[in-house]
Chain A
Amino acid sequence: MIFKLLLVILVRTCTDISFKMAVYRLHFDSVSTLAANMKKMIASPYLWLGGFFGIANMLAWSFSLQEIDLSYAYPFLSISYVTIILSGKFLFHENLDKNKMIGIGFISLGAVILFLG
């Protein structure tokens, strides 16, 4: 039962990584380059991969809700904050500062208590 939720977390993390890859190093803040960047984004296979993972995420999520309480599954999915922040650090070299580390710690502790309780 826990494996279904871990699968949802994996797929959700893959969704966010794919969407980030699709817009990585693109800038949408200046009007002159907006159209070119939009074209790049739509042409990126990662955007479509992200959409695929997004659909798979909803299917896996509804699949796990078949046998798991919503009040258990929904907080458990907060582990995806941990996996997404860590993938930001290792894949996109994002800054992992003290606040994020403390936040990850509290969320992990919450998930452990949920799991043991």
Chain B
Amino acid sequence: MKKILIFIMIPVFLTTVGEFILKFNINHLDASPKPHPHIQHVIDSIPFVSTPMSEKLTDAMMYLTTVAFHPGIVLAIACIVIGGVLWVLAMSKFELSFLYPFLSINYLAIVIGSQFILGESVSIYRYVSIVLIIIGLFFISKSPYSDSQ
């Protein structure tokens, strides 16, 4: 039983912690990193592209490269992806109705952690909404996972 709990809690822990690391690092990103002058020059020289359009394009490109090479964000995405794969493994081993309470931990931990670790102002509506989501997940988990069952 203890082994089963560890097997299920690892993906729950990884995804929750991954989301916190992701949000923390995004909160502390440089607000508007400027592209390298050479890149800006190439984009500016493309004809028929209006300035605001090219600005948006460089912003998007800058954002993608920033995210793809930011060690904290890469670590966070790795945690979330590995957690997701382990969760699929857990789903192939155990019934969804057994896994459902652990899925609810994700929602609770993320909202509570957002308030107390990331310092977000969390209204009562957000807590009410996760209670409703958890009830909804409870009903979905009671449904058979295959028609052939």
Interface size class of B (residues with CB under 8 A): 35 or more
State whether B23 touches A70 (Cβ < 8 A).
yes
Minimum CB–CB distance from A31 to chain B (whole Å) comes to 16
Question: What is the chain A residue whose CB lies nearest that of B64?
Answer: A59
Which chain A positions have C-beta within 8 A of B143? 95, 97, 99-100, 103
A81 at the interface (CB under 8 A from B): yes
User: Cα distance A103–B130 when bound, in Å?
Assistant: 13
B124 vs chain A, min Cβ distance (A): 8
Separation of A66 and B20 alpha carbons in the complex (Å): 13
Which partner residue on chain B sits nearest A107 by CB separation? B136
Residue B4 lies at the interface, judged by CB distance under 8 Å to chain A: no
Contact sample, A vs B, 25 pairs, CB 8 Å cutoff:
A58-B80, A62-B26, A62-B73, A63-B63, A66-B26, A66-B29, A70-B19, A70-B118, A72-B126, A75-B111, A75-B126, A78-B107, A81-B137, A97-B144, A99-B139, A103-B143, A106-B132, A106-B139, A107-B136, A107-B137, A110-B132, A110-B133, A110-B136, A113-B128, A114-B129
A2 → chain B closest CB, angstroms: 15
State in angstroms the CA–CA spacing of A73 and B23 once bound together: 11
When C-beta atoms are compared, the residue in chain B nearest to A116 turns out to be B125
A75 pairs with B130, CB closer than 8 A: yes
Specify which chain A residues have a CB less than 8 angstroms from the CB of B139 in the assembled complex. 99-100, 102-103, 106
CB interface residues, B 112-149, toward A, < 8 Å: 114-115, 118, 120, 122-126, 128-133, 135-140, 142-144, 147
